[in-house]
Amino acid sequence: MTYDPVGRMMMTPVDNEAPQRVSRLRSLGLGEQPDPEFDHFADELARITGAPYAMVNFIDENRQFFAGLHTPGGTLTGSEAAAAVAATAEPGREMARDHGYCPHVVVRRKALVLEDVCDYPRFAGNPVVDEIGIRSYLGAPLIDRTGTALGTICVVDVEPRPWGRPGLETIKSMAAELIDLIHRREDGLV
């Protein structure tokens, strides 16, 4: 849990469901390696929303793992991702749990729309603002048939974005689509 040192505002929410989530992710074989199908999903999510970054994100107790990732430079894997992060401050496949906004979405179990993160003191001080230049966020939880919030899908931009109601409906619809894919995989239908 991270606190803002000036305002003493909790920056990263307490996540009591993390152990259950990790167990469920392991049983599904998710959250440990990039997935080409999730990369394709992230590419499509970026295309639909017009966002430069899109992720399929699974969250454990300590970190976030982008099993699907779209960046302006294209999908990166392995050492390419590490080199890109070092050279350009683009996100790699992993991020600390206290970075970004997806941990809030998982704990709240609701979509989150931040058209300009700087309009929200709780979110403006997040490390991704300074380290990557994130200014807007749109994310939805991936809640599976067991009721477990596995992670999120999200899009981010380095400019403020008027996501509005259409953006919210899009991200929620796409989250439902990805959960359906995860369930079909679990059932052996794909």
Asked, for residue 168, whether it belongs to a domain, the answer is yes
Band the pLDDT of 108: cuts 50, 70, 90: very high
Name the more confident of 103 and 127. 103
Crossing angle of helices 36-49/164-186, nearest 10°?
160
Asked, for residue 128, whether it belongs to a domain, the answer is yes
pLDDT at 98: 85
What does R_g of the chain's alpha carbons equal in angstroms?
Answer: 15
pLDDT at 73: 79
For residues 177 and 173, what is the distance between their CA atoms, to the nearest angstrom? 6
CATH code where residue 159 lies: 3.30.450.40
Please give the average per-residue pLDDT across 92-100, as a whole number: 88
Asked, for residue 160, whether it belongs to a domain, the answer is yes
For residues 104 and 92, what is the distance between their CA atoms, to the nearest angstrom? 20
Asked, for residue 36, whether it belongs to a domain, the answer is yes
Give how far Cα 80 sits from Cα of 1, 46, 49, 64, Å: 30, 20, 25, 18
For residues 106 and 121, what is the distance between their CA atoms, to the nearest angstrom? 20
pLDDT tens figures, 5-57: 444 444 678 999 999 999 999 999 999 999 999 999 999 999 999 999 999 99
For residues 59 and 38, what is the distance between their CA atoms, to the nearest angstrom? 15
Provide the domain limits for residue 174: 18-186
- Contact between 101 and 154 under an 8 Å Cβ cutoff? The reply is yes
pLDDT tens figures, 112-124: 999 999 998 888 8
Residue-averaged pLDDT of the chain: 87
Asked, for residue 11, whether it belongs to a domain, the answer is no
- Split into its structural domains, the chain has a count of 1
Q: Please measure the distance between the N-terminal and C-terminal CA atoms of the chain and give it in whole angstroms.
A: 38
Q: What is the pTM for the complete model shown?
A: 0.85
**Residue 90 belongs to what H/E stretch?**
none
Asked, for residue 99, whether it belongs to a domain, the answer is yes
Asked, for residue 171, whether it belongs to a domain, the answer is yes
Asked, for residue 147, whether it belongs to a domain, the answer is yes
